[in-house]
Structure 1
Amino acid sequence: MRGLDYRWLEALDHVISYGGFEPAANSLCITQSAVSQRIKQLEKLAAKPVLIRGSPPIATPTGQQLLGLYRRVMLLESEVLPDIVGINDNERVTVSLATNADSLATWLLPALSPLMDQQLIELDLLVDNELLTLDKLKSGEAIAAISSEPKSLASCQSDFLGYMEYICVCSPEFYQRFFSDGLEKTSICRAPAVVFDKFDPLHAEFLQYHFDAPPDSWRSHLVRSSEAFITMAKLGVSYASVPTLMAAKDIENGSLINMCPGKSLHRPLYWQRFNAESGILRRVSETCIQYARQALIQKK
C-alpha cells in the first residue's frame, strides 16, 4: 500500500493489544492525541474504519488485515535485522497461531515448548473451532492455523497433520445411572452430554453415525473448554466426546470409561500457513507438523 507509514500500524497494534488509546499512548511513550492522529491517518489512507471505538476497541475486518500485515512484517524484521545490525538476545518474537481447543489441550504446547525455550517466542494463541480457525489466517490475525479444511488459501499451503480420534467417555457412576439397561439410541439421548459450542458438529456427528440420533434429540451443556469436558465427565454430570489422547490416563486409572468400545470418530487436521515462510516461522511450522504427525493417527 503506497504511502503507508508503519508508525500508524504500530499505533493500531498497540490500541488493540493494550485495550485502548491511553494505554497504547503510554506504551509508545507518545500522547493520546498522537495515537488518535495516527489511527485517523491510517483510516484516511484505507478509506475505511480500522477500529470500532469501544471498551475495548475492536479491529474491523480492514483493521485485522492491516494488523496481520504489520505483525508479519515485524516477524520478518526479527529474522533479518539481527544478521545485519547484530543480534539482540532480549528481543521477543510474537507468533500468532489459530488453533482448535483439542489440539491446544493435547499436542500443540509440547510441540512448541522447545522453540519457546530456544527462541524466546511469545505465543498469541487464537482458540476457535477447527472449522473456523482458517478465518484467522485469512484475516491476517494468525500466521498459521490448525484447521479441518484441507484446501489452502491463495498464497498459502496446507500440510496434513493426522487424525484426531474421538471417543465417548463418562464416569462409571454416570454409566450405571443412565445406561444400566444398555447403551442405545433412547438412553443416549436421555443422558446429558457436553459440547464446545453451537457451531461444533463433532458430537452430533458421533451420535448420528453410531446411533442414528438426530441433532435435536439429545440434551447438552455448552462449555468452551476441552479440559472441562474431562472434568465434567469425571464429576458424573455429563458424558462427552473427547480426544483419546486426553482420556487415555483417566480410562487407565478407572475414573472414566469408554462408553462404547470400538466406536470412534476421526477428525482430520491440517496445518495452514503462508508460502513465504522463513526463519523462525518455518521452524514453528516444521516443528509442529513433525510433532503432530507423531502424536496423531496417520491412517484411519
Structure 2
Amino acid sequence: MDQLPLDQVRTLLAVIDAGTFDAAAEALHVTPSAVSQRVKTLERRTGRVLLTRTKPVRPTESGEVVVRYARRLAALERDALTELGITGGPDPARLPVAVNADSLATWFLPALTRVPRDPPVCFELHREDEAHTAALLRDGQVMAAVTSSAEPVAGCTVRPLGLARYLPLASPPFAARHLSGGPLEELLPDAPVIVFDRRDELQDRFVRALVPGAPGASPVRHLVPTSEGFRDAVTAGLGWGLV
C-alpha cells in the first residue's frame, strides 16, 4: 500500500462528521451505497476496521489516525488554494475546536476574532471539560483543543496559552450558615457545593489539597452546567464553588 485514496479518506471524514452513512451521502451528493463501498474499500486497503457501525458512527483507534490525517489534508488543501488565489469552493473552511466552558465564557471568543477569515472560516466549538478536551482531538472530532494536559496527542503539538486562576467563593449568608463555628478544614468537606457537571473534579481536588485524606467535596452537590449559572448559583447561596 503506497497511499490512501483521497476520495475514500474524505468519505470516511464525511461519515464521522455527519454521524451516519446516509447523512454523509447527502453531504457528498452520492448514494449511501457508494459511501459504504468507499469506506469498506479503505478498510480493506488498510487491513483495519476504521468505524464502529453505531448511531452516530465512531472511529476505531485506527480510524482516528485516518480522520486526523483527513482533517490535516483538508486544511493543507485550503491553505494551498488560498495562496494560489483560488477559491476553495462554495463551502467555507470548517474549524472544529474543543474548549472548556470557562474559557468559552471569558477569553476564547474575543481570541477567535483575531483569526483571519479570508477565505471565510466556520468555527464549530465543542464544549468539554478541560481535562477531557484532548480526547476529542485524539479521536479526530476536532482539529485543536484547549486542554489542561501538557502531553501532546500523537501528531499534534502543545502550546501554553496562559493560566486560569480560580478562587473558592461562597456568599456571606452561606458562609455564616455552613462555614462558621469551626475550622474551615472541618466544615468545608460537608458544605453543599456547586459543580459544573459529573466530570467536574475541581472542587474535589481543592478539598483534598486543603484536607489531606478527605474523599473530596460534599455529596450534597448541585450540578449547574454553564459558567454564568455556576457563578449565579454561588452568589445565590446554593453552595460554594471555585469561580
Give TM class, smaller chain.
Answer: 0.7 to 0.9
Pair 1:89–1:59, CA change in 2 (3 A): closer
Deviation at residue 69 of structure 1 after TM alignment: 1.0
C-alpha distance in structure 1 between counterparts of 2:147 and 2:127, whole Å: 11
Deviation at residue 60 of structure 1 after TM alignment: 1.9
C-alpha distance in structure 2 between counterparts of 1:4 and 1:90, whole Å: 26
- 1:96–1:123: 8 Å Cα contact kept in structure 2? yes
Deviation at residue 37 of structure 1 after TM alignment: 0.7
C-alpha distance in structure 2 between counterparts of 1:89 and 1:48, whole Å: 32
Instruction: Tell me: higher relative CO, structure 1 or 2? Use CA pairs within 8 A at least 6 residues apart.
Output: 1
Which stretch of structure 1 is more off in the superposition, 84-93 or 119-128? Answer: 84-93
Q: Which residue of 2 aligns with 1:113?
A: 113
C-alpha distance in structure 2 between counterparts of 1:155 and 1:133, whole Å: 16
Which stretch of structure 1 is more off in the superposition, 42-51 or 205-214? Answer: 205-214
C-alpha distance in structure 2 between counterparts of 1:239 and 1:63, whole Å: 43
Q: Which residue of 2 aligns with 1:63?
A: 63
Structure 1 residue runs without a partner (length 5+): 243-300
Q: Which amino acid aligns with 2:15?
A: V
- 2:204–2:216: 8 Å Cα contact kept in structure 1? no
SS at match of 2:36: helix
Deviation at residue 181 of structure 1 after TM alignment: 3.6
C-alpha distance in structure 1 between counterparts of 2:144 and 2:178, whole Å: 42
SS at match of 2:162: strand
Report the structure, 1 or 2, having the larger helix content: 1
Q: Which residue of 2 aligns with 1:77?
A: 77
Q: Which amino acid aligns with 2:47?
A: A
The TM-score with structure 1 as length reference comes to: 0.69
SS at match of 1:10: helix
Deviation at residue 70 of structure 1 after TM alignment: 0.8
Deviation at residue 11 of structure 1 after TM alignment: 2.0
Aligned-pair Cα RMSD in Å: 2.8
Deviations 1:93-136 (A, max 9, x none): 11222323322221111100232755522123333332333344
Pairing 1:192–2:192 present: yes
C-alpha distance in structure 1 between counterparts of 2:120 and 2:132, whole Å: 28
- 2:205–2:216: 8 Å Cα contact kept in structure 1? no
Question: 5 Å matches for 1:120-199?
Answer: 120-152=120-152, 156-181=156-181, 184-197=184-197, 199=199
Q: Which amino acid aligns with 2:231?
A: I
SS at match of 1:232: helix
Q: Which residue of 2 aligns with 1:227?
A: 228
The TM-score with structure 2 as length reference comes to: 0.83
Pair 1:68–1:157, CA change in 2 (3 A): closer
Aligned-pair identity (%): 33
- 1:185–1:212: 8 Å Cα contact kept in structure 2? no
C-alpha distance in structure 1 between counterparts of 2:217 and 2:235, whole Å: 24
C-alpha distance in structure 1 between counterparts of 2:129 and 2:99, whole Å: 8
Q: Which amino acid aligns with 1:157?
A: T
C-alpha distance in structure 2 between counterparts of 1:92 and 1:36, whole Å: 26
SS at match of 2:96: strand
